[in-house]
Structure 1
Amino acid sequence: MKKYINRLFIGALVAGASLLVFSCSSDYLNTAPTDSIGTGDAVGTTDNAMKALNGIAKIMTTQQYYFGGGFCGENNIMIQYESYPSENYNYNYYANGWAPIFNQTFHNRTNSIYDAYAWYYYYTIIGNANTIICNIDAAEGSDSEKNFIKASALTFRAYAFEKLTHYYCWRWQDSNNGASQGLVLRLDESTGSMPYSTLAETYTQIYKDLDDAISLFQQSGFDRENGKVWIPNINVAHAVYARAALTKQDYGKALSEAKLAREGYPLMNNTDYQNGFCNPTSEWLFGSFGSSQENNWYWSYGTQYA
């Protein structure tokens, strides 16, 4: 009896091994995950790369729930890191418990989400932009499309670096001519430890990204679709350049770049002005704008983030 049981066991193993070999050889188990996508697919063609570029823009209106209510992209940055601490913002008396946030006390605590959020948010944009920048040259598609997409990703990266200098670096006038600590200039898809660059090196990289972007925009002959203000074009690159030059106190460069940024984008008329600022007008160069179906729903806090 034992002999027959052993034969049955061995036979079952052989049958199982045959099934395994057959399954593997037919790629039966070789399926792609449904919650992520590989670089080859994301940037394998210019059509997909354009979708990936649009995904970076979507980050700017995405609610990062790990950090809690209200941490939902660019509008949170503008409110909590720029509007609240300014001398022009006046909050309701009933909310005086928010004083540590208004005075940016929380922003100086290394274990606080208010200190960490802007770093997380802008390096998420940088990481996604790097994937496009490092892989778009090998994508299927026309050179004109690839040049536009790469230029737009470079503009996203420069924009993120420029914004980070406001929140984590000394002002240029306090930096010993740029010798103070700058940012971690991650320019590829690596994830390992990297040292800080100086502030001068940071601005040099921002300028380089924008010079490269402007050159590629010009070579592409493309522009974004009308109304899609969330995709950077050459005007946005000039605008980011103007901001960076202004904060670096490079005033001549800031003026020349600002003039180039405004070309083709006239000031809004009186009717548009009186309709408010929640929809794109002729002035809009760049904005994290979607549609009436896309909003920040239960994290909008009404008048705070309307």
Structure 2
Amino acid sequence: MIKHIKKAAILLLAVSTFGCSESFLETYPSDSVSTAEALSSPKNMMAALNGVHRAMYGQSTFEDYSLAAEGYILPMMEFGASDALHSTSGNGWFRWNLRWLVHTDPNDSDMEYVWYHHYNIIGGVNNIINAAEGMTVTPELANVLGQCYAYRAWAHHRLVTLFAKSYTYGNPSSDKGVPVMTKTAAPYEGLSRGTVEDVYVQCEADIKKSIEYFAEASKPEDNSHISVNTANGIAARIALTKGDYENAAKYANAARQGYSLMSEKEYKAGFNNFEDTEIMWAGDIIPDQTTYYRAWFYYLGTNFNGSQNRGNPKFINHELYSLIDDNDYRQDMWLETAPNSIDVEFDQIGDEPSNDDPVISGDENYATRGEFWAAWGKVIEEYDMTSSFNTYPYMSVKFLNANGGTIDPDDVLYMRVSEMYLIEAEALAMQGGKDDEAIAVITELANARRKDESIAYDVNARGLSLIDEIKVQRRVELWGEGHRWVDMKRYDEALDLTNSGADETLYQKGFKQDKPSVNDAWIYKIPQAEINANPNIGEGDQN
């Protein structure tokens, strides 16, 4: 059965797939309407769908988990990988994720939360899809259903990329994937794990149906709703992770139509507004829905006034930073010589230390105390931080609160058009015989990131193969946006932080890991709570 049945928006029943030995349905107040009545019209369905949009970024009420959906999960998919690194343990958030002790533990609450979050989304849209059966499809209903089928494809795809082997190097017809849910109805029993192939078949069918509905749909309200472009973007992601490069290129190209790339000024504005030029899909967080210390900017931002980022600035892998050329304005997203206010020590001359006292360890960039604190103060002032913030070499200034030094809420980014350029370029390069087309696409993106536009991007400047050059562009462009874990899995890349600047003592098991094709530790564990409760998933189904 189902473990939790919840109402979202106007009595939307959002259902997870946790199994249990007995079922129950949350009792409605006497003045409420039934689920069938609540989903009886496209208008009511859209109101219910708004509850799903809210669930994508809102603070969860699931048992004792106060985590904020994508605001928590996107950083999780960066911090155990190679590029978005922690300078210290800070207040402890994500320390165990860094050490690979969370996703490898079926009893960890994070695994239960990731599982629940996605099946909650699936259950919510299933209610709408199921209720629409037999209805006349108007443009308004087509809009609702286009979004619902896209959500279902997106959520199943996210689950299979985390909780199963990669399609590209595994055996998808026999590798265990995740349960495929297409109905939300009594008796709410948990389902068995489909194969990886089963999940991809469902994802492809759903996203195809989504795009078909959008062909006759009314326009989306804003970027917090899924559009036909977003649906094509989801389709491109699905095809890319499958190794279906022809379709990946086709869908990515369709997804980016009608969009322009950010200017340098826009790029440096902090990625905090769901209406920014490149944003295809994002959570529009309004002030009374703030997630406070569960916010994306609390984990990955520079100037959100919380203990996690005040004491633990996130920084870029030094090896990756070294690959960014000086005419690429994305280089400015990280401060190579920011003072190390975490580890620095000073030589104390006499009883009264002065600004002329030398820095003796912890920061080779500054000779004296005066130089050090002047540089620190400059960073603090420029990026709207307070005196309680630490700075650190190579620290990120990519994600900035619009109202720096506060805990005011900012929007959560799900998809940008630059990702579509990168998918298209990679997919073209992987097909063979289409290198010129791939070069044209990646050059268009890279030229948009030039400080001096008169000095054009040269795809051969780093001396890398075309596919490796595209990978570098992807790592730089999408740094911190929640892609790196899945990318490393599908590329079958080993994890090695030896020259990254990361502290091996802090990272422990997360400092080095063999490549995913020979190391099942890359696969998230199925929550033990699901195994215990779902009669169709047993101990033998554990990753």
TM-score bracket for the superposition, by shorter chain length:
0.7 to 0.9
Of 229, 235, 238, which residue of structure 2 is paired with 1:235?
A: 229
Q: Deviations over 1:189-217 (max 9, x none)?
A: 13213221110111011000011111111
3-state DSSP of counterpart to 1:174:
coil
**In 2: Cα distance, 1:202 partner to 1:35 partner:** 40
**In 2: Cα distance, 1:83 partner to 1:34 partner:** 46
Q: How does 1:66-85 map to 2 (within 5 A)?
A: 66=62, 71-80=67-76, 82-85=77-80
The aligned residue for residue 210 of structure 1 is 207
**Residues 211 and 297 of structure 1, relative CA distance in 2, 3 Å threshold:** same
Amino acid in the other structure paired with 2:156: F
> How far off is 1:35 after superposition?
9.7
Q: Deviations over 1:61-115 (max 9, x none)?
A: 22124465661111101011x1111211111324396543113321121111122
The aligned residue for residue 56 of structure 1 is 52
> How far off is 1:300 after superposition?
3.6
**In 2: Cα distance, 1:126 partner to 1:293 partner:** 26
The aligned residue for residue 136 of structure 1 is 132
The aligned residue for residue 180 of structure 2 is 185
Amino acid in the other structure paired with 1:50: M
Contact 2:89–2:95 under 8 Å retained in 1: no
Aligned-residue CA RMSD (Å): 2.4
The aligned residue for residue 249 of structure 1 is 243
Q: For structure 1, list consecutive stretches of 5 or more residues without a partner in the other structure.
A: 1-30
Q: Deviations over 1:28-72 (max 9, x none)?
A: xxx962797532232111111111111100001221244656611
Of 76, 100, 105, which residue of structure 1 is paired with 2:101?
A: 105
Q: For structure 2, list consecutive stretches of 5 or more residues without a partner in the other structure.
A: 1-26, 302-543
The aligned residue for residue 258 of structure 1 is 252
Which structure: greater strand fraction?
2
**Residues 302 and 237 of structure 1, relative CA distance in 2, 3 Å threshold:** closer
**In 1: Cα distance, 2:199 partner to 2:96 partner:** 30
**In 1: Cα distance, 2:211 partner to 2:179 partner:** 23
**In 2: Cα distance, 1:270 partner to 1:37 partner:** 51
**In 1: Cα distance, 2:31 partner to 2:261 partner:** 43
Q: Deviations over 1:132-170 (max 9, x none)?
A: 11112456x862211111111000111101111121011
**In 2: Cα distance, 1:36 partner to 1:95 partner:** 46
Q: Deviations over 1:268-290 (max 9, x none)?
A: 22321121200031211111222
Amino acid in the other structure paired with 1:201: D
Of 273, 284, 289, which residue of structure 2 is paired with 1:279?
A: 273
Of 188, 197, 201, which residue of structure 1 is paired with 2:198?
A: 201
Which stretch of the first structure deviates more once superposed, 31-40 or 159-168?
31-40
**Residues 270 and 114 of structure 1, relative CA distance in 2, 3 Å threshold:** same
3-state DSSP of counterpart to 1:263:
coil
Of 74, 84, 89, which residue of structure 2 is paired with 1:89?
A: 84
Contact 1:236–1:285 under 8 Å retained in 2: yes
**In 2: Cα distance, 1:35 partner to 1:170 partner:** 48
The aligned residue for residue 393 of structure 2 is none
**In 2: Cα distance, 1:114 partner to 1:83 partner:** 15
3-state DSSP of counterpart to 1:156:
helix
Amino acid in the other structure paired with 1:162: H
**In 1: Cα distance, 2:43 partner to 2:296 partner:** 36
Q: How does 1:280-295 map to 2 (within 5 A)?
A: 280=274, 281-295=276-290
Q: How does 1:156-195 map to 2 (within 5 A)?
A: 156-190=151-185, 191-195=188-192
The aligned residue for residue 515 of structure 2 is none
**Residues 73 and 35 of structure 1, relative CA distance in 2, 3 Å threshold:** farther
Q: Which has the higher contact order (CA 8 A, sep 6+)?
A: 2
**Residues 283 and 110 of structure 1, relative CA distance in 2, 3 Å threshold:** same
**In 1: Cα distance, 2:284 partner to 2:100 partner:** 27
Amino acid in the other structure paired with 1:207: E
Which structure: greater helix fraction?
1
**In 2: Cα distance, 1:84 partner to 1:161 partner:** 22
**Residues 286 and 90 of structure 1, relative CA distance in 2, 3 Å threshold:** same
Which stretch of the first structure deviates more once superposed, 266-275 or 87-96?
87-96
> How far off is 1:305 after superposition?
5.4
Contact 1:239–1:261 under 8 Å retained in 2: yes
Of 135, 142, 151, which residue of structure 1 is paired with 2:146?
A: 151
Identical aligned residues as a percent: 25
Of 207, 220, 226, which residue of structure 2 is paired with 1:224?
A: 220
Kindly name which structure, 1 or 2, has the bigger radius of gyration based on alpha carbons.
1
**In 2: Cα distance, 1:169 partner to 1:38 partner:** 37
Size of the aligned set, in residue pairs, is 271
3-state DSSP of counterpart to 1:108:
coil
**In 2: Cα distance, 1:32 partner to 1:110 partner:** 34
Contact 1:185–1:196 under 8 Å retained in 2: yes
Contact 1:44–1:138 under 8 Å retained in 2: no
Q: Deviations over 1:164-195 (max 9, x none)?
A: 11210111133214420111111011321322
> How far off is 1:251 after superposition?
1.2
**In 2: Cα distance, 1:279 partner to 1:250 partner:** 33
TM value normalised by structure 1: 0.81
